[in-house]
Structure formats: structure tokens, C-alpha cells
Amino acid sequence: MLDASGSREAAALVAIQRRIDQPAVVRAATAMSLFGEHAAGWLAIGTAGAALDPTRRREWASSAVAVAGAHGASIVLKRIVRRRRPHDPRIAVHVGTPSRLSFPSSHATSTTAAAVAYGSLLGRPGAAGLAAVIPTMALSRLVLGVHYPTDVLAGSVLGAGCALAARRVIERGRLGRWRTR
């Protein structure tokens, strides 16, 4: 079990919160947290893509499945590692969480998976926009006081790995064949 209580990670989290823990930032981070909870916002985007882009419906649906799979992998890993969320009295916790476990960040996992999986479907400007959301979501988890820096880093690595693996499977046609136009 990882425990960062009193560690450099807790000190880093305190420093981050002291610098940017402003009401407007906390409100924005809270909105991002709600969007990313259980990967719901990202799954809604994948579902909308499948509904609105019939020529690439299977690609969108398969990518949404990859996001759901990445989120599921983060939940399994949380239960294996069992790292507790930040509990240093200097750290302000601004939102509730569905569990007391923090490693890896499921929000960072699903956000990164969505950016990788959906990015290729949106073209260069869309992919760049999604890529910019990754550090923003990661930082939001620190501002809200619910994750340590390595939680969000590990979540992003896990999300990217899951999405890239799923893309390889999709490209090889293991999840079905479709044509892009």
C-alpha cells in the first residue's frame, strides 16, 4: 500500500493548493470532476459520436468501450494498491468521492483514454483540444485535494496505455470491420 502522508507529495499538493486554490478555480475543477465522474462525460461523447457519425459508428463505439475499459482498469488497480486519498490536515478537500482510494486517478485515466481514443476521430484540431484537457483534468484533481501527483500521473499513463492497446485492436479489425471515408 502506498501512503504519501507527510511526504513530498503531500507538500507538493499543499503548495499547489496555496497557489491556485481560488473560488473560480475550485468551481471549474468541481465541474470537471462532475463531468469525469465514472467516465460519464467521456462515455456520453463517445455515444454522441456514434449517433452523429454513422460512417464511423463502430469506431466511435469501440473507442467508447476503450474508455470504459480504461476506467474499469483504474478501479481494479485502486482495489489492488489500496492507497488512501490525501489526509494531511493542510490539504483542503473540496469534493466528495465514491471511495477512499486514490491510486490511480480514475478521472485522469478516463480523460487520457478519451483524448487518445477520440482524438484520431476528431482530426488535428479536435485531438489537440482533447490533449489539452489531460493536464487540466489532472490539475483539477490536485486542486480539489482528492489525489496526489503520482495518482494523476499513473492514471494518465494507464489511460494512454489502455487506449493505445484498444486502438491497435480496432485497427486490426478484431472488434469488427468498418470503412472510414
Does residue 54 sit within a domain? Answer: yes
Over its C-alpha atoms, the chain yields an Rg (Å, rounded) of: 17
34-47: per-residue pLDDT in tens? 999 999 999 999 99
Domain holding 50: CATH number?
1.10.606.20
Does residue 178 sit within a domain? Answer: no
Count of domains observed in the chain = 1
Q: How far is CA 43 from CA 1, 27, 32, 60, 68, in A?
A: 30, 22, 14, 10, 7
Does residue 2 sit within a domain? Answer: no
What's the pTM? 0.87
Residue 44: CB atoms within 10 Å: 12
Q: Which residues pair with 84 in a beta bridge?
A: 101
Residue (of 64, 117, 13) closest to 134 by Cα position:
117
Does residue 179 sit within a domain? Answer: no
Does residue 132 sit within a domain? Answer: yes
Dihedral angle of Cα 62, 64, 67, 68, to the nearest 10 degrees:
-100
98-138: per-residue pLDDT in tens? 899 999 999 999 999 999 999 888 877 777 888 889 999 99
